[in-house]
Amino acid sequence: MFGKMLEMVRASCPLIHNITNYVTVNDCANILLACGASPIMADDREEVAEITSICGGLNLNIGTLNSRTIASMLIAGRHANDLGHPVVLDPVGVGASKLRTETALRLMEQVRFTVIRGNISEIKTLASGSGNTKGVDANVADKVTEENLNEALGFAKNFARKSGAVLAITGAIDLVTDGTTAYCIRNGHPMMSSVTGTGCQLSAMTAAFVTANPGHPLEAAAAAVSMMGLAGELAHDRLGELDGNASYRNYMIDAIYNMSPDGLEKGANYEVR
Amino acid sequence: MFGKMLEMVRASCPLIHNITNYVTVNDCANILLACGASPIMADDREEVAEITSICGGLNLNIGTLNSRTIASMLIAGRHANDLGHPVVLDPVGVGASKLRTETALRLMEQVRFTVIRGNISEIKTLASGSGNTKGVDANVADKVTEENLNEALGFAKNFARKSGAVLAITGAIDLVTDGTTAYCIRNGHPMMSSVTGTGCQLSAMTAAFVTANPGHPLEAAAAAVSMMGLAGELAHDRLGELDGNASYRNYMIDAIYNMSPDGLEKGANYEVR
Amino acid sequence: MFGKMLEMVRASCPLIHNITNYVTVNDCANILLACGASPIMADDREEVAEITSICGGLNLNIGTLNSRTIASMLIAGRHANDLGHPVVLDPVGVGASKLRTETALRLMEQVRFTVIRGNISEIKTLASGSGNTKGVDANVADKVTEENLNEALGFAKNFARKSGAVLAITGAIDLVTDGTTAYCIRNGHPMMSSVTGTGCQLSAMTAAFVTANPGHPLEAAAAAVSMMGLAGELAHDRLGELDGNASYRNYMIDAIYNMSPDGLEKGANYEVR
């Protein structure tokens, strides 16, 4: 089924509007092209509504937010909602500052997100910040492992239901859930964390997948997550003795570019819970 | 003759001031270094006039424009005109929003451009937006092909004359014209569109070429366009089985770095019309 | 001893707050990860104090400064001082505009820097701008060579004492001094100047080294400078016939990623004067 999702991206070539950080923006653009989508970056409040109108989906990333771009994210997000476009939130570093936390929560209040993608700490911050969780939820560990997987799944499903978004929580084990069904994905490689912005890239790609697969946000997000992890595995296999994280960065995007629907289908490693 | 143009870049090492988007800015800097020029990026209105003064040429790219940088582009552009420095405009995405269209037209009103480089859609938007074209011109197709080449050439020459700039319209066939003479350039590879910012990179490099070859903006721009396309061909030849658009990006800049004047001369594929 | 410094970076994985330019920011993030540190980029005045609080060190780079980020640099720098965190200044292009010069001098007035890293021209501008040098100092050449090394050392030591910061002056020969002791480092390769941002990357890495080695800013900065140069050498050895500056960029970061403390120890080429 993930292969089908990728096929749809390649067939429809969705145009994705990104308001994202300047650290990893180039990689986000290139990974969108690699998976078969097209990127537009635009963050001025005077034009974001129009730009969103000509796109199929929107990706909001608060990695290097500032007062100017926060306003633009709110405008673009609400407009995408009005148009029925899917919107992805990447709450980079939420919890690290009041500005990030407040901005993420404000975005969640004013914009209906199709997918929220972050690591477990970021998602926990969103969950507690928005006053939506209590009990065991608040105690979920900062790393999803085989040992605490059930607990993490409970937390994720609960917050997915409450937020109304598909959650994509990435880490050693990735969890993607709409509150009812959850994909536990075991693709990926630890070395991915030595490359800046693999999360940002995944969020951009997730926006492409949910845009190209209307009506299937859960499966589309899970396919994107699995594809990113699989790219991390294939790129790792390709590393030569002198290669490090810079070459690895390139090899991952290359692997996305070269991945076939069939290759994704066969390489995807997940269970549904 | 293109080889001579490149020789001049390598010999004079022109310093190019870029006010450009944050998506592809790193590649623009590296391609300028690759071709033998030097980059400076500066976009604060308090310093852009001074920075332009110490440079040889200016490259304005509206890819991620905002109110702050629009003001800076106008200041830098007018100042470069006062100093007699060549100025290149890359009207990225013009037509996609009112802000982009108005900004591009305002820049064209207030700044005398040496070269305007864009794809055919962008150039058409400039042409119709600035009220300078009518009749068949307005109907030129959104892709330059062998079939509509004559029509496209007519449009390009007409708008080049009216705008007073050399036009570099890039696509499957590239057209570079000053309104009288036109270079039809058949270098390049379709895979170049799978790398973000090859157009931005070309505009930066074009600024270097016209700066290093005063009095020859047409030939200098054509040489830059041909060199970028040739780099795309050479980089494509170099691709291994596992390489994708990320490696291709690097290989193109590498090819620019390694290209000799003689190699450009021999690899350039164009006709003058 | 340099090997020990690197060991400490790898062992403590310092989190470095960067307020830096958008041209080379991605490479700065990846080189921090390559050496064993972690990057955070944040430049909004509302959050920079908080972000600095959760980090171990701060890196300020004025490469694409603007009024918004200048304010943020001042806030973050003063706050880092209050917290006792090391702060590195990279005065990119100081002297090229009044804004850059004034900003760099204002930063030096209001923030106590642990290390200032720049090329000899930048450091000379700081020295003369801040009214701290005269006599032979003002005449130090714009390139450090074996011939003028003594004179350059005198200048560097003098300004280091007056500024209270360790100076890392990079070029064909690198000088790192606290005013008393100086490391003359002969690592590096001329091709490094064909890659944008090797200086920015070094400044980010220097912040990681001084953060991970409290109490040893001189040795830590010298280790970082030597490691960057050694990476430039190793990356150059690795270049194939078709490789150019883009591949070289990647190979340098790869070399940092793969460098062992022992490899740094053996490859470091310096004398203490």
Q: How many angstroms separate the CA atoms of A72 and A61, rounded?
A: 12
| Chain A CB contacts of C251 below 8 Å | 242, 246-247
- Please compute Rg for chain A using Cα positions: 17
Tabulate helix, strand, coil % of chain B (nearest 5): 55, 15, 30
**Contact residues on chain A for C43, CB-CB shorter than 8 A:** 64, 66
* pLDDT 10s digits, C169-186: 999 999 999 999 999 999
Question: How crowded is residue A19: how many other Cβ atoms within 10 Å of its Cβ?
Answer: 25
Residues of A in contact with C250 (CB under 8 A): 246-247, 249-250
Identify the closest residue of chain A to C43 by CA–CA distance. Answer: A64
Nearest CA to CA, how far is B207 from chain C (Å)?
18
> Exposed/middle/buried for B168, CB within 10 Å: 0-12, 13-18, 19+?
buried
Number of domains making up chain B? 1
**pLDDT tens digit string along A12-63?**
999 999 999 999 999 999 999 999 999 999 999 999 999 999 999 999 999 9
Q: Determine, for residues A65 and C44 on separate chains, whether the beta-carbon distance falls below 8 Å.
A: yes
Q: Quote the minimal CA–CA distance from C130 to chain A in Å.
A: 32
pLDDT digits (tens, 9 = 90+) for C20-34: 999 999 999 999 999
* B27 interaction partners in chain A (CB closer than 8 Å): 26
* ipTM reported for the complex, 2 dp: 0.96
| C-alpha span between C225 and C32 (Å, rounded) | 14
Nearest-by-Cβ selection for C242 from B25, B44, B254: B254
Residue carrying structure tokens 């480089």: B117
- List, in order, residues 6 or more apart from C91 with CB less than 8 Å away: C62, C100, C104, C116, C118, C122, C123, C125, C126
Contact A63 C41 (CB under 8 A): yes
Nearest to A243 by CA among B134, B141, C234: C234
Kindly state whether A199 is in contact with chain C, defined as any CB-CB distance less than 8 angstroms: no
In this complex, is the C-beta atom of A47 within 8 Å of any C-beta atom belonging to chain B? yes
Residue range(s) defining the domain that contains residue B108: 2-272
C144 is written with which tokens? 């450090």
- Residue from B24, B97, B100, B201 to probe the interface with A (highest A Cβ count within 10 Å): B97
Cβ of residue B7 closer than 8 Å to a chain C Cβ: no
Rounded distance, CA B35 to CA B224, Å? 9
pLDDT tens-place string over residues C211-261: 999 999 999 999 999 999 999 999 999 999 999 999 999 999 999 999 999
Question: Structure tokens of C108?
Answer: 């030096």
CB B59 within 8 A of CB B207: yes
Instruction: Give the whole-angstrom CA distance, residue A61 versus residue A70.
Output: 10
Tokens of C15: 């989190």
Contacts of A20 in chain C (CB under 8 A): none
A149 and B CB contact within 8 Å: no
Q: What is the CATH number of the domain that holds A83?
A: 3.40.1190.20
Q: What is the mean pLDDT of residues A101-114?
A: 98
Most A CBs within 10 A among C254, C256, C258, C260, hence the mutation to make, goes to C254
**Tally: H helices and E strands in chain B:** 11, 9
B51 vs C contacts (CB less than 8 Å): 96-97
Mutate to test the interface with A, among C9, C44, C227 (most CBs of A within 10 A): C44
Is A22 in Cβ contact with B24 (below 8 Å)? no
- Dump strand ranges (E) for chain B: 15-19, 38-41, 57-61, 87-90, 115-118, 166-169, 174-177, 182-185, 270-272
pLDDT at A135 over 90: no
H or E stretch covering B9: helix B2-12
What is the per-residue pLDDT across A200-230, written as a single tens digit (0 to 9) for each? 999 999 999 999 999 999 999 999 999 999 9
pLDDT confidence band for A137 (50 / 70 / 90): very low
Question: pLDDT of A60-99, one tens digit each?
Answer: 999 999 999 999 999 999 999 999 999 999 999 999 999 9
- C205 — contact with chain A (CB < 8 Å)? no
Is the pLDDT at C132 greater than 80? The verdict is no
Q: Shortest CB distance from B64 goes to which of A41, A254, A256?
A: A41
Tell me: pLDDT of C271 over 80: yes
> How far is residue B46 from each of residues B21, B130, C43, C129, C207, measured CA to CA in Å?
19, 30, 19, 19, 29
Residue C129 is predicted with a pLDDT of 84
List CB contacts (< 8 A) between A24 and chain C: 26, 29
**Which pLDDT belongs to residue B129?**
84
Angle B204-B210-B212 from CA coordinates, rounded to 5°: 105
pLDDT given at position A223? 98
Q: Is A104 exposed, middle or buried (0-12, 13-18, 19+ CB in 10 A)?
A: buried
Q: Determine phi and psi for A169, rounding to 5 degrees.
A: -105, 115
pLDDT-based confidence at residue B131 (cuts at 50, 70, 90): low
CA distance A35 to A264: 12
Q: How many CB pairs under 8 A join B and C?
A: 90
Distance from CA of C21 to the nearest CA of A (A): 9
Give the mean pLDDT of B136-140. Answer: 51
Measured in angstroms, the CA of C36 and the nearest CA of chain B are apart by: 23
Tell me the one-letter amino acid at A233: E
Q: What is the pLDDT of residue B130?
A: 62
Verify whether the Cβ–Cβ distance A97 to C46 is below 8 Å: yes
Q: Is C106 touching B (CB cutoff 8 A)?
A: no
- Write out the two tokens for A178: 């709409």
Which pLDDT does position C42 carry in this prediction? Answer: 98
